[in-house]
Structure 1
Amino acid sequence: MVLILGSITLITAAYILATTNEFISITEAKKFACYCGVAPFEHTSGIRIKGKSRVSHKANKEVKTLFHMAALSSVRIKGDLQNYFHRKVAEGKNKMSVLNAIRNKLILRVFSCVNRNSIFQKNYKYNFAEP
Structure 2
Amino acid sequence: MAACEAQELIRARDVGDITRFTSRAHFASWNGTAPIDASSGDQNRHRLSRAGNRRINRVLHIMAVVQLRRDTEGRRYYRRKLAAGKTPMEAIRALKRRLSDIVYRRMTADAKAVRTSPGGHVGATLQSSAADPNPKIGTSEKSLPGPAEPQPRTPLPAAS
Q: Per the shorter chain, which TM-score range?
A: 0.5 to 0.7
How many Å separate the matches in 2 of 1:18 and 1:96? 27
Q: CA RMSD in A?
A: 2.8
Task: Select which of 96, 104, 113 maps to 1:103.
Answer: 96
**TM-score, with structure 1 as normaliser:** 0.67
Q: Measured at CA, do residues 15 and 80 of structure 1 come closer, stay the same or move farther in structure 2, by a change above 3 Å?
A: closer
Task: Select which of 47, 55, 62 maps to 1:54.
Answer: 47
Total equivalences in the alignment: 111
Structure 1 unaligned residues grouped into runs of 5+: 1-5, 119-131
1:17–1:23 CA contact under 8 A, matched in 2: no
Identity %: 20
How many Å separate the matches in 2 of 1:49 and 1:32? 30
CA radius of gyration, larger in: 2
**TM-score, with structure 2 as normaliser:** 0.57
Q: Pairwise mapping of residues 106-117 of structure 1 onto structure 2 (< 5 A)?
A: 106-117=99-110
Larger relative contact order (C-alpha < 8 A, sep ≥ 6)?
A: 1
Structure 2 unaligned residues grouped into runs of 5+: 113-160
How many Å separate the matches in 2 of 1:16 and 1:94? 31
Q: What is the match of residue 30 of structure 2? A: 35
SS of equivalent residue, structure 1 residue 93: coil
Aligned: 1:79 with 2:72: yes
- The aligned amino acid for 1:55 is L
SS of equivalent residue, structure 1 residue 78: coil
